[in-house]
Structure 1
């Protein structure tokens, strides 16, 4: 049984192709609508699996070509993050056989395909034997994870499990000139899932700000990423909360969604007492400098629209640690204060745990105050 999968996001396409091939289907893929149409005519598939939102030619245009220009009755299954009711109705009006809304599990996708065209005779795997549900995400998200001497703290199993289960996320680990075995640990982690995990290696240590900037610029080159974010290697903010940040930006007009460690009822937010006092003091200074009502700019979990990432990470940051503050300052200077406030969402985390082994000492905290004033003076000169 032959399936043609048409999808512009490589991470999704590779995952779909792998699962269907394992189950005995013969699969061909196309990354855009026109290529899909050309392949349809030559390949003559038993089923077409197509996305809606693709550049140049939409999935609905592909459906229209197959149904009306080719007058083909080949079953068509749409799998898309577009949940607009009118789009779904238009699909059925054009003659599709089914419509799946992302996020959706690979298991559900396979079950719907089996319902339409059956199971291959050379089926190698039983759907019910799959040990866990792998989810195809609504959008593709690139996540930068800066690492400096994280050999002892890197939670490889958590990263490996997340990349395996959440298809559409790509984890880019930036090794910031580590002097221990961090790079070797990352290389072993990458081998477990090379399609969804990559390494960007910096020969020399440049600080967290530059490591994240280099990672973001690396991911920006890949056009499949709708959103780009960053996360601390110690997972003090865990993947459940990060995924919530992504869901917020997907379903809103915000351009940046930033995690916030502000304590609230029902949230598990823990800090060392001394760090809490210092953090509160620094946050008050930051709020004064920004002149915007954000309570926790320094949380190491943020996700943003790719176009915003291009603008915010184009130029080097002036500090090694306070690039989060600089991002807010750049948004304010680029869009104006009122518009920046509308474009940034500060979302409280459900859980955040301070991890042992922080690279910042008490002495560093004193330096931070001086760097904040440096930011306040320097960004007055900026023009975009």
Structure 2
């Protein structure tokens, strides 16, 4: 039994081909409509699985482009009744009805569990041998509504990285790609990251910076690297200790999916029903810092420093093209850059501060109490630099890495 999968996102193609092949199907994939149509004629599939959000026949990427051309080609031009199943994050009733009028067999709304997808395929064209075992093994895997890249900066994290949590998340969330950035660690963090990646190469990568440049630079490089890949709809970052866990990060992504926001930022503000744990002294320092940040920003956000944020891919280059002014306060500077780019009113409208349901302070944090006190001085430095920038008297030079500091992407 042969299946043709057409989708412009490699994460989806790789995931579906692997799982459908494991289920016993013969699978071919296409990353554009033109290749999909060509393969339909040469491969003669028993079923076509197509994403509805695909580039049009002209090859141009349009804001509201669809893959309906594939359906039209099969049903109208080829007069074929081969089953066509549509995968889409678009849940518009009118679009679904339009597709059924064109002659599709089934419409699956993302996110969709792999078990459900395989069950629908099996009901439509039959099950290969022993695919019931594949269904049981894959029951937790989900194909997301969008493809998301996540940068995870790491400096001497060998003793704190929870390898199984990262592996499990990458295996079960097929629309995610985790990019670990090794920030010149002096321990065996790089070896640990390589081991986490082993067997998960499609969904986990390691970006190695030979020299420690600080968290701000590690995140910046990782974000810019992922932004080069057009398959990602959203790109964010998360702390390696998972003080904000993947459940809350998923919630940030869902908020971005269903809104006009450009950035969704986690907030660790204590509230009823949330499990937010901080040391008492750290909590006092955090509140003091946040009050100063609110005063400098002139914006109503209460926790800019939370290490969990996700944004639309087209925003990444605007926010991360220049090195950050300070070592610890790059999160604040992102808010300042948003204000500079869009103006205060629009920046406030484009940023969503979403309270986390849980957050745990992890032992071994790289930020000491002495560093916390230094942040007060860095805040005034940041305020001064952006005042000068607003006045047009300061320019930022983009870092030109030399041979010692250029990162290596491990493929």
Which TM bucket (shorter chain)?
Answer: over 0.9
What is the rounded CA distance, in whole Å, between the counterparts of 1:161 and 1:311 in structure 2?
33
1:144 to 151, 157, 161: 151
What is the rounded CA distance, in whole Å, between the counterparts of 1:325 and 1:159 in structure 2?
27
Alignment-derived partner of residue 38 in structure 1: 38
Q: Conserved in 2, the CA contact under 8 Å of 1:174 and 1:211?
A: yes
Q: Conserved in 2, the CA contact under 8 Å of 1:22 and 1:125?
A: no
Alignment-derived partner of residue 338 in structure 2: 331
What stretches of structure 1 of length at least 5 have no aligned partner?
none
RMSD: 1.2
Matched, 1:281 2:277: no
Q: Secondary structure at the match of 1:381?
A: helix
Counterpart mapping for 1:64-213 below 5 A: 64-120=72-128, 122-123=129-130, 126-130=133-137, 132-213=139-220
What is the rounded CA distance, in whole Å, between the counterparts of 2:224 and 2:106 in structure 1?
38
What is the rounded CA distance, in whole Å, between the counterparts of 2:46 and 2:153 in structure 1?
45
2:360 to 353, 377, 380: 353
What stretches of structure 2 of length at least 5 have no aligned partner?
58-65, 393-411
What is the rounded CA distance, in whole Å, between the counterparts of 2:362 and 2:222 in structure 1?
23
For residues 136-179 of structure 1, the C-alpha deviation after alignment (integer angstroms, 9 at most, x for no partner) is 00000000000000011111111111001100100000000000
Alignment-derived partner of residue 26 in structure 1: 26
What is the rounded CA distance, in whole Å, between the counterparts of 1:137 and 1:129 in structure 2?
19
Q: Secondary structure at the match of 1:189?
A: helix
How far 1:124 moved relative to its partner?
5.7
Matched, 1:7 2:14: no
What is the rounded CA distance, in whole Å, between the counterparts of 1:130 and 1:203 in structure 2?
39
Q: Conserved in 1, the CA contact under 8 Å of 2:264 and 2:351?
A: yes
Alignment-derived partner of residue 328 in structure 2: 321
What is the rounded CA distance, in whole Å, between the counterparts of 2:199 and 2:166 in structure 1?
10
What is the rounded CA distance, in whole Å, between the counterparts of 1:24 and 1:131 in structure 2?
14
What is the rounded CA distance, in whole Å, between the counterparts of 2:233 and 2:6 in structure 1?
18
Alignment coverage as a number of residue pairs: 383
1:238 to 219, 242, 245: 245
1:312 to 310, 319, 323: 319
2:265 to 258, 261, 264: 258
Alignment-derived partner of residue 222 in structure 2: 215
2:347 to 340, 347, 371: 340
What is the rounded CA distance, in whole Å, between the counterparts of 1:113 and 1:361 in structure 2?
54
Q: Conserved in 2, the CA contact under 8 Å of 1:80 and 1:101?
A: yes
How far 1:129 moved relative to its partner?
3.0
With structure 1 as the length reference, what TM-score do the two structures score?
Answer: 0.98
With structure 2 as the length reference, what TM-score do the two structures score?
Answer: 0.91
What is the rounded CA distance, in whole Å, between the counterparts of 2:388 and 2:27 in structure 1?
56
What is the rounded CA distance, in whole Å, between the counterparts of 2:123 and 2:102 in structure 1?
20
Q: Secondary structure at the match of 2:149?
A: strand
What is the rounded CA distance, in whole Å, between the counterparts of 1:372 and 1:163 in structure 2?
36
For residues 36-93 of structure 1, the C-alpha deviation after alignment (integer angstroms, 9 at most, x for no partner) is 0111111111110000111234211110111111111111000111111111111101
What is the rounded CA distance, in whole Å, between the counterparts of 2:206 and 2:133 in structure 1?
34
Q: Secondary structure at the match of 1:161?
A: helix
What is the rounded CA distance, in whole Å, between the counterparts of 1:255 and 1:262 in structure 2?
21
Q: Conserved in 2, the CA contact under 8 Å of 1:160 and 1:192?
A: no
How far 1:123 moved relative to its partner?
4.4
How far 1:275 moved relative to its partner?
0.4
What is the rounded CA distance, in whole Å, between the counterparts of 2:69 and 2:20 in structure 1?
25
Q: Conserved in 1, the CA contact under 8 Å of 2:56 and 2:67?
A: no
What is the rounded CA distance, in whole Å, between the counterparts of 1:125 and 1:114 in structure 2?
10
